[in-house]
Structure 1
């Protein structure tokens, strides 16, 4: 059985990732969750991931690597620590990397909306690595709590990008696990879209 660890900054992400795993119908995969909301709170307060926060996140990721086959950092702000995943003993993915990769396949303009100042720089850096030229715009949503809570947005509108990136992230982690389990196989694919 493959174990995929998820490092969350919000407890509510646990249900989203469990839902994503259920949608994929992978019976041999189990998710291991760890929630560290205090690091996100500190990063938001400092408007950046400080070296101290980064070190705590690195340690948490490495601890999760000891118990899992792959790790997904589900917080965009804290995900900056996993920019160079080669520093870890197992495959590690930033959740926003799955969205950036998917966005790179789109030929039109791409608008990325951030809800926290602490994530603006790292999100811009990440998406710019995938979406080239003037097709990319990254913006901060003013008063995100108010904007996301207005009646004009349906809950599914807000949750779809999270569910989409969760499904892509779980698929990536399963793919990594399969490649590690059967290293000689070149055509391993987990492409099965539940929607």
Structure 2
């Protein structure tokens, strides 16, 4: 099985390769394409404007031509999955769909952390939609300054700030804490108050299941 991944940050490749290795499935291969220009365009426009949505859909459609499933790993571009699903011959999955479903499964308070302001709206919309099925309550928070450190290449500081925010959320009584962006995943290992949920493994699993179901294979 071949899953194509559309990234906007090159450093997001390795978390998915790690998740693939952890699955222990030699038949699963990943193809990676990095389109940092799409995320940069959102930043310049101040929103996920229609022309950027169209360009993202075109990129997903191109990947779908040679894959069993496509995984969009950028939370900011997540809404492009809906129109892409209408034109792609294989399943197209947004990386945080499975994460949101898992986070709200048991209800209660779910605190969702983001670092990039551009992803807040689409992430909140997704988590609140999933929460309606279980009665979970969603609170969104942006980790101050973390994204600026990430963009400047100060990854350790980015992870430290993210872990501190997650630990604070656990201390405040959050039942579930989510690190919503793939770029935040490495911070989970630094947390001391609890284990936050992260998206690479759940996103890849969702893409594989969707591809298996599309081709009539057993899950």
TM-score higher than 0.5 here? Answer: yes
Counterpart mapping for 1:18-97 below 5 A: 18-84=17-83, 86-87=85-86, 88-97=88-97
Taking structure 2 as the reference length, the TM-score comes to 0.75
Q: CA deviation at 1:13?
A: 1.1
* Alignment correspondent of 1:148: 158
* Alignment correspondent of 1:180: 214
Q: CA deviation at 1:172?
A: 1.9
Root-mean-square deviation (CA, aligned residues, Å) is 2.6
* Alignment correspondent of 2:205: 171
* Alignment correspondent of 1:8: 7
Q: 1:62/1:25 Cα in 2 relative to 1: closer, same or farther (>3 Å)?
A: same
Q: CA deviation at 1:19?
A: 0.6
Taking structure 1 as the reference length, the TM-score comes to 0.83
- Verify the 8 A CA contact 1:47 1:117 in the aligned structure 2: no
Aligned length: 184
* Alignment correspondent of 2:154: none
Counterpart mapping for 1:128-139 below 5 A: 128-132=128-132, 135-139=137-141
Larger RCO (CA within 8 A; separation ≥ 6): 1
Gap runs ≥5 in structure 1: 190-195
- After superposition, the C-alpha distances for 1:49-97 in whole angstroms (9 at most, x for unaligned) are 1111111100000001101010000000011111355312210111111
- After superposition, the C-alpha distances for 1:141-178 in whole angstroms (9 at most, x for unaligned) are 22223562547949976156999421122222222232
Pairing partner for 1:158 from 175, 187, 190: 187
